[in-house]
């Protein structure tokens, strides 16, 4: 068991290293000259040369990569080209806000979605069941910015219930923070809930077609009991996977939602940095998002394996 977890962990480290390589190659080698890009096309050759030395661009790429990697490992993420402040400071200001947004969304959406998914799989194909599935399908195919703009129009512009811009001031009371968070969180909850609910339903109906469920049906066990007792336990593994993947999916949702609501989070920092071509900030943000994603997916895979009744026994038997 412990050996298996260690293997997983080593795999995660390996993937993270590959991610860092990809991010570095993508941002350092593709664009040609970062210094030229940062200063614009009207910069004098002298100023470009100065900035190049300042950024260490006259060093070979492999050396710069190692420098960058060891810097990250020691908490030194480099310096922003546009604001000249350390990237680590910029990150630490924003990460908390994004974690607050994503965390609140996950806490609300996950139980809600699993309940809705289970309710939908209780039905046996009546019109209510069909209506529910089509609504869920429609919502999961809707872009975040439609839901976000509709929410702003209705609740901020017409009804004045919530602010349209989610500005978090440091000393604000928790009521103000909650009000500011409401619309962005609501938008994300709608999108994520629809996704998880649909997959929950797919997983359960897949299980209901299997022999053990048919057996229970033939014995006359009521459908709600088959769903809640027989199928749900089998579904824990795949469900853990779905939830983790959807938290990862939050990454793209968060990018859009933070932009709509001018929310001071990490994703907006990254979008702004991409627009300004501030490469150290882009690299840092990409690394953070990439790392979160990799860790969540590996966590999900591990959970799914741990809860898989067939895999665990064989793994225990072989001692893997």
Partner 1 sequence: MTTKPDLAPLPRQRPSLTLWFSFGVLGAFVFIAVFSPWLVPFDPTEFVTDLPFQAGNGASILGSDYLGRDLFSRLIAGTSLTLLMGLGATLLAHLVGDTLGMLVALRGGWLDVVLCRIVDVALSLPKIIVGLVVVAALGSSITTLVVVTGLIYSASVFRVARALGRDLVGQDFMRVARMRGEGPVWLLFGEMLPHVVRPLAADFAIRMSFAILFMSSLSFLGLGVQPPLADWGALVRENLQGLGGGSLAPIYPALAIALVSIALNLFVDVLGERNDAAELSK
For partner 1, the binding residues (CB under 8 A) are 15, 18-19, 22-23, 26-27, 30-31, 134, 137-138, 140-146, 149-150, 152-153, 157-158, 164, 199, 202-203, 206, 241-242, 245, 248-249, 251-252, 255-256, 259-260, 270-271, 273-275, 277, 279, 282, 285-286, 289-290, 293-294, 297
Report the candidate in 311, 313, 120, 43 with the shortest Cα–Cα distance to residue 34: 43
* Cβ distance to partner 1 smaller for residue 227 or 286: 286
CB of 286 to partner 1, least distance (A): 5
CB of 222 to partner 1, least distance (A): 26
* Cβ distance to partner 1 smaller for residue 82 or 313: 82
* Cβ distance to partner 1 smaller for residue 87 or 144: 144
CB of 213 to partner 1, least distance (A): 17
CB of 174 to partner 1, least distance (A): 26
Which own/partner pairs from 52-56 qualify as long-range (CB within 8 Å, at least 24 positions apart)?
Answer: 55/81
Residue with tokens 């009744």: 309
CB 291 within 8 A of CB 19: yes
CB of 143 to partner 1, least distance (A): 5
Give the whole-angstrom CA distance, residue 89 versus residue 101.
Answer: 20
Residue with tokens 């991409």: 274
What residues pair up with 79 in beta bridges, in sequence order? 86
* Cβ distance to partner 1 smaller for residue 51 or 194: 194
307 phi/psi in degrees, rounded to 5 = -90, -5
* Cβ distance to partner 1 smaller for residue 116 or 196: 196
Around Cβ 78, how many Cβ atoms within 10 Å? 19
CB of 247 to partner 1, least distance (A): 11
* Cβ distance to partner 1 smaller for residue 273 or 303: 273
CB 87 within 8 A of CB 78: yes
User: Which H/E stretch holds residue 302?
Assistant: helix 279-307
């Amino acid at each position: 068991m412990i050996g298996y977890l260690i293997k997983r962990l080593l795999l995660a480290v390996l993937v993270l290293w590959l991610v860092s390589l990809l991010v570095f190659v993508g941002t350092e080698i593709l664009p040609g000259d970062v210094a030229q890009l940062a200063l614009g096309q009207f910069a004098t050759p002298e100023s470009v040369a100065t900035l190049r030395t300042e950024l260490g661009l006259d060093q070979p790429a492999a050396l710069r990569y190692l420098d960058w990697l060891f810097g990250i490992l020691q908490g030194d993420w480099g310096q922003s080209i546009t604001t000249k402040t350390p990237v680590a400071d910029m990150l630490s200001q924003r990460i908390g806000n994004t974690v607050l947004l994503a965390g609140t969304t996950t806490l609300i959406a996950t139980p809600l979605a699993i309940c809705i998914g289970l309710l939908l799989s209780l039905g046996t194909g009546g019109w209510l069941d069909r209506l529910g599935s089509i609504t869920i399908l429609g919502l999961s195919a809707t872009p975040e910015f439609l839901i976000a703009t509709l929410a702003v129009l209705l609740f901020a512009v017409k009804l004045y219930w919530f602010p349209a811009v989610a500005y978090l001031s440091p000393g604000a009371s928790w009521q103000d923070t909650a009000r500011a968070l409401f619309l962005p969180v609501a938008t994300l909850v709608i999108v994520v809930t629809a996704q998880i609910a649909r997959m929950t339903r797919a997983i359960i109906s897949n299980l209901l077609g299997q022999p053990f469920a048919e057996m229970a049906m033939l014995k006359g066990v009521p459908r709600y009991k088959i769903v809640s007792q027989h199928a749900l336990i089998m579904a824990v593994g795949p469900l853990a996977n779905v939830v983790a993947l959807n938290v990862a999916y939050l990454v793209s949702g968060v990018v859009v939602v933070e932009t709509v609501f001018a929310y001071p989070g990490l994703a907006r920092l990254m979008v702004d940095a991409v627009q300004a071509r501030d490469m150290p900030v882009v690299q840092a943000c990409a690394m953070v998002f990439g790392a979160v994603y990799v860790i969540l997916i590996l966590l999900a895979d591990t959970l799914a394996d741990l809860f898989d009744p067939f895999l665990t026994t064989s793994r225990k038997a072989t001692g893997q």
